[in-house]
Amino acid sequence: MDKVCALDALLLSNDLTRVVGDRPEQCHLRFGTNLFPIEGFCTARSLVSAFSLLRLETKAKAKVPREDFSRGEMATVVATSEEDPVLAVVRFSSELAWADAGPEVAEPQVSRLCLEAQDCLVMARYLDLVSLMLTSADLILPKVSDKDFECIVTVICNLVTKAGTPDEALEMAKLISSKLAQHSDDKPQLRLKMLFSLYNMLENPYSRFVVYMKALEVAVAGKLTDSVVPSFKKIDAFLSEWNIGKVDQRALFHVISNILKDSKSMGKESFTFLSKYLATFSGTGEDAVAMNEVKEDAVRAIVEFIRSQDQFRCDLLEMPAVTQLEKDEKHASIYELLKIFLTKRLDAYLEFHSANSAVLQTYGLVHDECISKMRLITLLDLAFHSPSAQISYSDIRDSLQINDEDVEYWIVKAITLKLLDCKMDQMSQTVIVSRHTDRIFGLPQWNSLRSKLSVWRGNIASAISTIQANKISEEQPSAAQGLVRS
């Protein structure tokens, strides 16, 4: 115990100490003026070797200068001796990987890997270095402690900051994130944390997108989707930053929609991302080949819209991925039902149901829920086609096929769902509508908007003319009084 090894250990007390002893089984930890024996080679290896010449510090990311989708802590490597942290990790990983081969076989291999890593560092071949380190790390990561895991991966991830070009950083990010996404059932929370850290180390926007996609993959496989769902609210900002193409957007929207679809409280968000996914298919060129593969997703979108009791507007009828179902032998009926919900009234639905009652059962739809939604939709259609913005109670009763005493109930329900802004005149038995939700926004809606804007423009012009006329009339008496005085 008269020789101090060049090894540092991170104790639970966060005090940095030294290891004393020539051989691992004889090592002691120096804590202040006291020496404590490390019992067992494995314990010494785990506590000491993994943190050889390294210290892990964590700092809360309360102030991150750019968009951050992680919610944990980011590890930073701080060197505590002269040996490069990369070489220390290479040595530790290779020693552990070759531990069962015996010293005669292991020592030459460890030396070879260390020399190769040294050469990569000297020549600034960081992509090759990452590949080398991941090869060894892949063999040992399932076996090491969480602290060792975090140390090894943090050192590897830190190499992306040394990349000479954005393309090199991208390739490094792909290698690291792909390796972390493997075996996601092993330490999934830690793998996700490391992907968060890697994301924040990267400057290249597309590299960050690649890592984000791998993080979603790990979250799904490790059943940790609650950790990434909050980031979905920032997707528009991320898309602006990443500047990714249509194919990448398609993959992103699809995986997010699949993550959200099983959540009862996120049904609307799931439908939104599914709609964005389907909207990326134009139906021409390369997309025409892939159209057949998205039929089931198109059906799912239709069913989700019909089933939802708080969604009354969508653009599905304008999407080639959905309109292809009109001529599909298997799914033509569900497409016809979608058209009824977006363009027709309750009577059309009841007629469809009487002839196709089995369709609802096939797609898991409930007849009473469909009637309830169609009544609200019919009320919206009455508002849209009312030139005077007034609807009589009797028209509502007849169109919704309800009793007189239920008319105001359905009006209030539409107001509660923010489908209508209106006033009920019980004396005249009419509803005066000031705003209504459109189920679709096509040519008729654009024409209606143009008419409203034209009226608004005319009203503004009339108001300006009135103000100017009043101003002139006020100025003329003043001028006349001035002439009289003179």
98 vs 252: CA distance, rounded Å: 40
Evaluate if residue 334 carries a pLDDT over 90: yes
Query: 455 and 419 share a domain?
Result: no
Give the contacts of 405 (CB within 8 A, at least 6 positions apart). Answer: none
Which amino acid belongs to residue 4? V
Give the contacts of 386 (CB within 8 A, at least 6 positions apart). Answer: 433
Of 27-41, 51-65, 204-218, 423-437, minimum mean pLDDT range:
51-65
Give the contacts of 157 (CB within 8 A, at least 6 positions apart). Answer: 176, 194, 197, 198, 201
CB 209 within 8 A of CB 248: yes
CA distances from 8 to 20, 123, 126, 447 (A): 10, 28, 26, 75
- Give how many domains the chain has, as a whole number: 3
Which pLDDT score is estimated for 196?
94
CB 421 within 8 A of CB 433: yes
In degrees, rounded to 5, the angle at the alpha carbon of residue 331 between the alpha carbons of residues 330 and 333 is 110
Query: 436 and 459 share a domain?
Result: no
Residue 342 lies in a domain: no
Evaluate if residue 5 carries a pLDDT over 60: no
Evaluate if residue 32 carries a pLDDT over 70: no
Which pLDDT score is estimated for 443?
53
Q: Please give the share of the chain, as a percent, with pLDDT higher than 70.
A: 77
CATH number for the domain harbouring residue 414: 1.10.10.10
Residue 280 lies in a domain: no
> Among candidates 63, 292, 313, which has minimal Cα distance to 200?
63
CB 159 within 8 A of CB 130: yes
Query: 380 and 412 share a domain?
Result: yes
What angle separates helix 332-343 from helix 295-307, to the nearest 10 degrees?
Answer: 40
Query: 452 and 428 share a domain?
Result: no
Evaluate if residue 59 carries a pLDDT over 90: no
- Tell how strand 73-79 and strand 28-31 pair up: unpaired
Q: Please give the share of the chain, as a percent, with pLDDT higher than 90.
A: 53
Evaluate if residue 236 carries a pLDDT over 80: yes
Where is pLDDT greater, at 12 or 149?
149
Of 262-271, 300-309, 324-333, 357-366, minimum mean pLDDT range:
262-271
List the structure tokens of 44: 């010494």
Where is pLDDT greater, at 376 or 454?
376
Residue 356 lies in a domain: no
Residue 427 lies in a domain: yes
Query: 454 and 426 share a domain?
Result: no
Residue 361 lies in a domain: no
> Among candidates 289, 213, 222, which has minimal Cα distance to 250?
213
288 vs 167: CA distance, rounded Å: 31
Which amino acid belongs to residue 19? V
The beta strands (E) that lie in 32-140 are given as 34-37, 54-60, 73-79
Where is pLDDT greater, at 383 or 43?
383
Evaluate if residue 158 carries a pLDDT over 50: yes
Residue 320 lies in a domain: no
Query: Considering the chain, what is the average pLDDT of its residues?
Result: 81
Residue 406 lies in a domain: yes
Evaluate if residue 162 carries a pLDDT over 60: yes
CA 439 to chain CA mean position, Å = 27
Query: 465 and 412 share a domain?
Result: no
Helices (H), 385-442: 393-400, 407-416
CA distances from 256 to 131, 260, 381 (A): 30, 6, 33
The beta strands (E) that lie in 156-207 are given as none
In terms of pTM, does the model score above 0.95?
no
Residue 53 lies in a domain: no
Identify the helix (H) or strand (E) that includes residue 84: none
Evaluate if residue 21 carries a pLDDT over 60: no
- Give residue 5's domain range: 1-47
277 vs 396: CA distance, rounded Å: 37
Mean pLDDT of 368-372: 97
Where b means 16+ CB within 10 Å and e means fewer, 238-272 reads: beeebebeeebbbbbbbbbbbbbbeeeebbebbbb
Q: What is the pLDDT of residues 443-462, one digit of tens each?
A: 555 565 566 677 777 788 77
Where b means 16+ CB within 10 Å and e means fewer, 464-476 reads: eeeeeeeeeeeee
Evaluate if residue 25 carries a pLDDT over 50: no
Q: Is 429 left (phi over 0), alpha (psi -120 to 50) or beta?
A: left
Where b means 16+ CB within 10 Å and e means fewer, 99-125 reads: eeeeeeebeeebeebbebbeebbeeeb
Which pLDDT score is estimated for 102?
73
Query: 385 and 429 share a domain?
Result: yes
